[in-house]
Amino acid sequence: MHDYILFMDNTGLRPDEAGNLEHRDVAIVTDHATGQRILEIEVRGKRGVGFCKSTPGAVRPYERLLNRPKPTRGLQKRNCSKTNPNEKLPVELPEPTDKVFPQGGQLKLFNRILDKAKLKADRDGKPRTAYSLRHTYICLRLMEGADIYQIAKNCRTSVEMIEKHYAAHIKNTLDAAAINVMRPKAARQAEKQAKAVTNGKGRGGKAIGKARRGETTVPEAREAELRVTDTDLAPGALTEETNG
């Protein structure tokens, strides 16, 4: 179960896609861009055939799955115990056509673990399932700054679906510089006024300059600075934006 969670969390596969996955569909390769080992997966699901490139974190769990002996059948155990009780059962490693997750009980076991850990429902009361591991993969990629189009392509979904179900809940996807953009004229006015106040020129700046020379008090200078902000800077910037 541990390897199942790590594999799903680092590939973003849907549970049904993971259930159809065979070892011949998975290849361990070296990514030319990063030099790290990743998985190249040929995904087969209800939506047809697609492709996925995992994060490096999926390689070790898959290697353990690949080198894990097949489950021994009960009949084989009984036959060996009758003929030679001390004989060790032959170890069979997975074949290329074998399923990566052959037992098929991962979904039920995952749900039982969530129930026991009291994590079955999220803060909004919505149930968590194995599909939540795909959500985690996409959210982590977005938080790391990955391109949303590349994520959609790798997860065999659309940009619209990611924006609707994932990106809206992640503050890292909001670009403050893009949101707080100002038109060139308003930006220049703000910069010019800020420099005037700093250099002791203009309305309010003179009072601040006097405060520095000890000719007036700091509260008076602060009051003048606030008047500059409220009466000089804001209307000029807002008028430009409102008329646009």
65, 153: one domain = yes
Q: How many CA atoms lie within 13 A of 226 on its CB side?
A: 6
23, 134: one domain = yes
- With a CB cutoff of 8 Å and minimum separation 6, the contacts of 61 are 2, 3, 4, 6, 7, 10
Band (pLDDT 50/70/90 cuts) for residue 228 is very low
pLDDT (tens digit per residue) in 191-222: 777 777 666 655 555 555 555 555 555 555 55
Structural domain count, the chain: 2
pLDDT at residue 5 in the model: 95
Boundary residue ending a domain (143, 173, 203): 173
pLDDT, greater one: 168 or 6: 6
156, 239: one domain = no
50, 159: one domain = yes
169, 186: one domain = no
Question: Nearest 5 degrees, angle CA 2-CA 154-CA 159?
Answer: 120
Q: Which residue range forms the structural domain that includes residue 80?
A: 2-173
Q: Where are the alpha helices (DSSP H) in 144-217?
A: 148-154, 159-165, 176-179, 184-199, 205-213
149, 238: one domain = no
Instruction: Return the closest-CA partner of residue 7 out of 139, 184, 21.
Output: 21
143, pLDDT greater than 60:
yes
127, 82: one domain = yes
Say what the pTM is.
Answer: 0.66
pLDDT, greater one: 129 or 190: 129
| CATH number for the domain that contains residue 11 | 1.10.443.10
111, 204: one domain = no
54, 149: one domain = yes
155, 62: one domain = yes
38, 146: one domain = yes
- Look-up: residue for tokens 């309010």? 204
CA 171 to chain centre: 11
pLDDT at residue 104 in the model: 74
3-state secondary structure 56-78: HHHHHHHHHHHCCCCCCCHHHHH
Boundary residue ending a domain (173, 201, 223): 173
Band (pLDDT 50/70/90 cuts) for residue 90 is confident
pLDDT (tens digit per residue) in 26-73: 999 999 999 999 999 999 877 788 999 999 999 999 999 999 888 766
167, 188: one domain = no
